[in-house]
Amino acid sequence: MKRESVLAIIGARGGSKGVNNKNIRPLLGKPLIAWTIEQATASLLFDHIVLTSDSEEIMRISAEYGADVFFKRPDEYATDTAPKIPAIRHALVESEKHFGKQYDCIVDLDATAPLRIVQDLIDALQQFEREGYEALITAMPARRSPYFNLIEQDAHGRVALSKKLDRPIVRRQDSPKCFDMNASFDIWKREALLNNNTLFTGNTGLYVMPEERSIDIDSELDWRMVEMLMAERTEEQVK
């Protein structure tokens, strides 16, 4: 069986409102984005590991750590309100032009989720290929359930459960399984990425990760938690 051609894309916009310059802020001695580049490299899964960024500094640092850096993300894909998928699609098109080849699968790696491990990438891609999905997302088991203790409030201030079943749910454990998307990485078939503006294509799979590998850095509190967990992991590896 022919090995599929797999492209890794790492997106990192310049600037950040929640954590200043988080993509290149030092985490345990190296820029945050370096952890993701090194994980992708160590997995041996990817034909190329491509950066998409609007920041010259992020581009320079990423190239130093081994990412393929050969284009700058256009401004229309780099605003605070720009959706993510068009930027990924743009990076795919630029990569196929640059390397002169067509990729079967695309893995979008979030630089702000460094707690993933290399084995997550390997296992998720194997699951994706084995199950024949068009897309795959990562998530962790949800702490709260929309069927039990997540509520919505209407314009008059009245509240109700977010989701209801025909039968009442009296224990959270009895509610349907729910998951929190953790923004660690996504996997696409090429045609699914080119032809959809959502991850939920009707044939989207799920790779479940534990909570301790599922923090996406969006605040200073997130940063401190990730730093603590990464330090503990490093200490365990040294022992």
Q: What is the pLDDT of residues 207-216, one digit of tens each?
A: 999 999 999 9
Q: Hey, which CATH number is domain 6-141+179-238, 3.90.550.10, 3.90.850.10, 1.10.3720.10, 3.30.70.1290?
A: 3.90.550.10
The pLDDT-based confidence of 235 (bands split at 50, 70, 90) is confident
Residues 157-174 pLDDT 10s: 999 888 888 787 777 777
Q: At 64, which helix (H) or strand (E)?
A: helix 56-64
Rounded Cα gap, residues 239 and 237, in angstroms? 6
Q: Are 85 and 198 in contact (CB under 8 A)?
A: yes
Question: Does the pTM of the predicted model rise above 0.85?
Answer: yes
Q: What is the mean pLDDT of residues 53-70?
A: 97
At residue 238, does pLDDT exceed 80?
A: no
Rounded Cα gap, residues 88 and 193, in angstroms? 8
Let me know if 218 is exposed, middle or buried by CB neighbors in 10 A (0-12, 13-18, 19+).
Answer: middle
Percent above pLDDT 90 for the chain: 77
Q: Are 224 and 27 in contact (CB under 8 A)?
A: no
Rounded Cα gap, residues 61 and 64, in angstroms? 5
Residues 168-206 pLDDT 10s: 777 777 788 899 999 999 999 999 999 999 999 999 999
Domain coordinates in residue numbering, the chain: 6-141+179-238, 143-177
